[in-house]
Structure formats: C-alpha cells, structure tokens
Amino acid sequence: MTEASSPLALVVLAAGKGTRMKSDLHKVLHPIAGRPMLMHLLASADALEPARKVVVVGAGREQLAAALGDSAELAVQDPQLGTGHAVQQAEGALAGFAGDVLILYGDVPFVTSTTMRAMLERLHGADNPAVVVLAFEPENALQYGRVIAEAGVVTKMVEHKDASEAERACRLCNSGLMAVRGGELFNLLARVGNDNAQGEYYLTDIVNVANGDGRVCAVVVTGDPDEVAGINSRAELAEAEGRWQKKRRLQAMADGASLVAPETVWFAWDTKLGRDVTVEQNVIFGPGVTVADNVVIHAFCHIEGAWLESGVSVGPFARLRPGAVLEEKARVGNFVEVKNAVLHAGAKANHLTYLGDADVGAGANIGAGTITCNYDGYFKYRTVIGERAFIGSNSALIAPVKIGADAIVAAGSAVSRDVADGELRLVRAEQLVKPGWADRFHDAMKRKKAERK
C-alpha cells in the first residue's frame, strides 16, 4: 500500500528484444551480484506492498514466465509500437483497478523504494497531479528525452529526436518512470498518437495530453543518476555491477567488517557479514552466504550458500559450496572444498581435502588429502565422522560410512565399513621390504647406460 493507503499496481516494461546484449538470455534476467536485474527492481517495489504486478513481455516471454512464476501477471506486447503501446497491454490485467500505478522498467533495476514512495506521495499532493514523472540530471544528457518544467510542474515532455535545440539544452532528463492513477491512465494513453520521428506511441505523451486538459503534471528529481541508469549492453551491465559492488563494499566496512583490499572482494546481493569479520584479497561471495562475528576469510576463497559461525577461519584458496556449515571455531584451510557438509565446533580440515555430503563431529581433525567418496554416478551418500575423530592424511572415506567418536583412521586408508568409537582402522596392503634391492637396481642401470655410450 502507498502512504495514502491507496492500492498500488506495478506495470514493469520488459518487452524489449535486448539485441545489444547478444544473448539467448532475456536482457532483464542478466544477473547483477548474482540476482537477475528484474528481481532487484521487484524487491525494491515489494517494500511498497503492491496489490498487483504486471510485467509486459515480448520476445523471450517463456523465460520471464519461468522466472516470475505466479508472482506477477504477464501481458504480451506484439508487435512493439513504443512505450505507450507497451503500457496499454496491461489494461486487461488492470481492468477495474482505480488505485495508483507505478510504471517501471525491467532494465532499470536500482530505483529505490524511497524514490518510488516519493513519486506516489507527490501523486497525492494538494494540486492533484495527473502524472508524476521521475527525472534526473546526468553529467551528459546525451540522447535522453527532456522534461521541461517550472517550479516542479512539467510543461512539456519531449524525446531527444523530436526536441528543439533550446529543449535539448535543458539538463533535466526523463527516466521513463511514472506514477499515474489507474482510473486515468488508460484514458490518457488512448489519446496518444504516433506523429513523431519514430512513428511510435510514446508513454511520455500522456503528460502532454494531461497538460492539454489543463491538469497539473509534476516532476520528482532523484539526486542519484545511477539509480535510474538503464542497462542495454554487456558493457553497461559490467558498469552497473561495478557500481553496486563499490556501494556494497563501503556498506560492509561501515557495518564493522575489514576488507584488506576492498576492490578485490565481490559480494552477492544477499551476503551477510557480522562485525569484526576480516576478508582478505580476492574473495568472492556467491548467493546465500551468512557470516557471523569474528570470522577470518583468507585470500582467494570462493564461498556460496554457506553459513559461518563465530570464530571460524577459512582459506586461503578454499571453496565452500551450497550447504556448507562451519560451526563455532571450525577451520577450513588451503585447497579445501566443502559441499553440503557440516563441520561442528572446533572441527578442522587444514589442507587439500574434499568434504562432500558429510557431518564432521566437534573437534575432529581431517588430514591432508582426505576425500569423502560421496557419489557412485547415480546417488549421493553421506559420511558421518564422530567427535574428536582423527582422519589420517590421504584417506578415502567411501560413503555411506560412519567413523565413531575418538576413532583413528590411519593415513592412506580406504574405509568402506563403519569404524567404531575409539577404534583404529588401518586399510593398507602389507608393506614389502627388500633390503639392498634399490642399490642393486641402481648399479645395474648405471652399467646398462654406460654400455650404450
């Protein structure tokens, strides 16, 4: 609901072909910080508790249908005759809706809920505006459409291609986002023509139609042009990722984390860091990571879908995959990979280890070169390691298998049967000793080599 308690509907335009992306993936599904740009936008809009959400689609509609599920209704624009025509395709989905409508763009992902709320509040201003336009002032106005306004009231909207030199000199640019009352939107759109340089039905023309009726149209100006930056190419996608990461790094440090080389740390959209966390160089967080207080993440780690409790140490050169849980003061060292496994309090795997589909008891020690053999080509199986168990280096634990508490698995063992509590399990071929054999071998080979000269 809006501040004025009027029901809210979203109309999100996502029918563009995205040809500049040169991708089989729909443009608005390209990720920033591990999340599709469209989902960034909808997450911000959801803070306003919209009653309805309509996404206008064209090419690639099947991908959007799969991504959105039943969270939004789809309206199809085919053929594509401009932004005004695109919004008209939502008329059926919004039949009878008399609340507020926010018109957004799927490739403009970082508009904040604060800005959206400001637009809606202005729509309910004392002068009863018919349309509220979101504008911005970029350093270079380029090819943006212009908003001609006086004292916050829009006198004219004009696309760059149709603007005069005097109008192009205006620095107030149109973001494309608008707020309109549902009871008026489609009446205004029905009166928009296509007599312009593109031969299209421009959404911006509803402002000129409303002005012709003697209605007030208002402008809200965002102070952050990056908030309304559209993404149409791979280069712009990379720039948006860079801006997002920079802000997130600053936020992490402001919240009490230490980033040794901030520019080399990459966060996902939902990364959570506690206080007094230290993150060294070249660490990448994928989605679904929560890090508690007093954790150290050493250089060159990749962490995704993991939960790290207080006092944990990770890396360097470690990989934590989805389902990895490191409880208090657990340690994972260099070249260790953990997947769908729990290391309970104080457990450690300091180097060269793979722990997949495993449960490692508190205080257990996993030696270098140990692997849990969790997959037979068809099914995954689990390994359970008891408290304080010691797994010797270069051991293979062939799941499903259970290692008891305080048990010892000797180095180089391949364990396929359960090990009882306190038991030593040694699985090796008997060593064969031949005294003097190596000396005789060397002597023979040296003679052979000399004879060939």
Catalytic residue among 26, 40, 351, 442: 351
The answer to whether residue 365 scores a pLDDT higher than 60 is yes
pLDDT of residue 396: 98
Q: Answer yes or no: are the C-beta atoms of 82 and 200 closer than 8 Å.
A: yes
Tell me the per-residue pLDDT of 399-450, one tens digit each, with 9 for 90 and over: 999 999 999 999 999 999 999 999 999 998 888 999 999 999 999 999 999 9
pLDDT of residue 161: 82
- Which residue in 145, 158, 217 sits closest to 185, CA to CA? 217
Q: What is the mean pLDDT of residues 333-340?
A: 98
- Which residue in 184, 204, 202, 183 sits closest to 193, CA to CA? 202
pLDDT of residue 388: 98
Q: What is the mean pLDDT of residues 10-21?
A: 92
pTM exceeding the 0.95 threshold for the entire prediction: no
Tell me the per-residue pLDDT of 288-312, one tens digit each, with 9 for 90 and over: 999 999 999 999 999 999 999 999 9
Cβ neighbors of 179 (< 8 A, separation 6 or more) are 100, 101, 102, 103, 119, 120, 122, 123, 131, 132
Largest Cα–Cα distance of the chain, in whole Å? 110
pLDDT of residue 18: 85
Q: How confident is the model at residue 117 (pLDDT cuts 50, 70, 90)?
A: very high
What is the Cα–Cα distance from 64 to 384, expressed in whole angstroms?
A: 41
Tell me, yes or no, if 302 is annotated catalytic: no
Q: What value does the mean pLDDT of the chain take?
A: 94
- Which residue in 377, 379, 384 sits closest to 362, CA to CA? 384
Q: How confident is the model at residue 195 (pLDDT cuts 50, 70, 90)?
A: confident
The answer to whether residue 2 scores a pLDDT higher than 50 is no
Q: How confident is the model at residue 1 (pLDDT cuts 50, 70, 90)?
A: very low
